[in-house]
Amino acid sequence: MQDLYLLHHSINCRGMKKSIDVSKVDASGIAGFVSGVRSRDPIRDRNIIVWALPGRATLFDCYIFLSHIYYVVCSVASSCIMHSPLRIAVLECDTPIDKINRRYNGYGGVFRIFLKASVNALNQPERLDPETGMEITAWDIVNDDKYPNLEDVDAVLLTGSSTYQLGDPKHSKAYTNHNGPKPEHNSFEDTPWINRLVEFTQQVLAQDRVRLLGICFGHQIVGRALGSKVGRSDQGWEIAVCDMDMTDEGKEFFGRDKIRIQQMHRDIVFEYPPNVIPLGSSPRCVVQGMYAPRRFVTVQGHPEFTGDIATETIQKRAEAGVFKEDQAQDALSRANLEHDGVAIGVAFLKFLLEE
């Protein structure tokens, strides 16, 4: 009976998990050093390198074997420093109002700035470098109907969407009434592009590698994809900076006892889907956040909104008659209050990086 020593080295493709194992197996009839056998493990998204050494090897075989161990240790150390970027696909579920759109170049631009600020606040460059740690792509799913290949991304983010289309008509084929606002972007509507988004969301939820973030409308789409009722709230609009009361799990996830977040909605998810962890609630909305470890996290609010974005959106909707004057004034008085958007973004990033 002859022993065979195996050196097994695996590295997660984003460099977030490394392992080296040496094991002994029966290897009768095998002689000499078995050179590095490289393979790919697509299920766990990692590269695998295996070297084998018979127990009755020559001194030269042992020297080569130990040299490869040294090489592996060095490569692991190097991989700890150089990570592949975290690939995030932002699915743009709407076009911002014109002034915001020109400033940020769509919601993809809004989220690039938001996520960059969150990476800086995370302050863990060894895990996520502020300059090179993310690769963010934007997908205009309303007008182009193109979606990312899940093999090419690590996370999918569903943005918010206006209940009333207030942008320039030429920027959206969903805008069909040029004389005033028209309801078009309701998460519960039987609309082709929304139905397609629900189907894609279900595809993401059906696998276990690519993770999902849902914001406002995106939060509702995730709820709908999981079978929950989504619709118009009888509590009316929730606008500008509001408190979000946390569950115990929400406090642990976000790292604080209470969250203040920008809001801009009157559609809601009515109940939590099965096997989902509730994160928080508010007087106007019971389902403010949903979480499934290593699968998805959603919030009803807008952590990406700045005070300027909230202010301009409120003013535009007031001009269009969506908000009453007293309602708009109350919201404007809270639009620039301090909120926890970046802290929420940090929690999102920790979720995406979690093994």
Q: Are residues 13 and 102 in the same domain?
A: no
Note whether 248 and 314 are same-domain residues: yes
State which of 81, 97, 128 marks the end of a domain.
81
In the residue annotation, 265 being an active-site residue is answered as no
Among residues 92, 184, 238, 304, the one annotated as catalytic is 304
Domain that holds residue 172: 86-353
User: Which one of 216, 219, 242, 285 is the catalytic residue?
Assistant: 216
Annotated catalytic residue 185: no
My answer on whether 90 and 77 are in the same domain is: no
Q: How many domains does the chain have?
A: 2
Are 74 and 90 within one domain? no
Q: Indicate the average pLDDT of the chain.
A: 82
Together in a domain, 201 and 72: no
pLDDT digits (tens, 9 = 90+) for 35-83: 444 443 433 344 444 445 555 556 666 566 556 555 544 454 444 445 6
CATH of the domain at 270: 3.40.50.880
Specify whether 33 is located in the same domain as 159. Answer: no
Q: Is the pLDDT of residue 179 over 60?
A: no
Q: What is the pLDDT at residue 89?
A: 98
Integer Cα distance of 259 and 251 in angstroms: 9
SS3 state at 309: helix
Confidence bin at 176 (pLDDT 50/70/90): very low
pLDDT surpasses 60 at 6: no
Q: In the chain, where does DSSP find H-type helix? A: 59-81, 98-104, 106-122, 192-205, 217-225, 248-254, 307-319, 325-334, 341-353
Residues 152 and 215 placed together within one structural domain of the fold: yes
Q: Which among 224, 230, 256, 229 has a CA at the least distance from the CA of 243?
A: 256
Residue in the block written with tokens 């999102």: 348
pLDDT at 272 exceeding the cut of 60: yes
Look at 221 and 25; give whichever has higher pLDDT: 221
Residues composing the chain? 355
334: amino acid identity, one letter: R
For residues 215 and 125, membership in a common domain is answered with yes
Do 115 and 241 fall into the same domain?
yes
- Beta-sheet pairing, 46-54 with 34-41: antiparallel
- Quote the tokens at residue 319: 């001009």
CA 258 to chain centre: 22
In the predicted structure, residue 25 carries a pLDDT above the cut 70: no
Vertex 95 angle, CA 93 and 97, to 5°: 140
Choose between 151 and 61: higher pLDDT: 151
Q: What is the pLDDT of residue 36?
A: 44
Same domain, 52 and 155: no
302 annotated active-site: yes
Specify the pTM.
0.76
Same domain, 312 and 336: yes
Last residue of a domain, one of 81, 114, 141: 81
Q: Which of 9, 171, 185, 302 is catalytic?
A: 302
- Both 217 and 138 in one domain: the answer is yes
Last residue of a domain, one of 30, 63, 81: 81
The per-residue pLDDT for 220 is 98
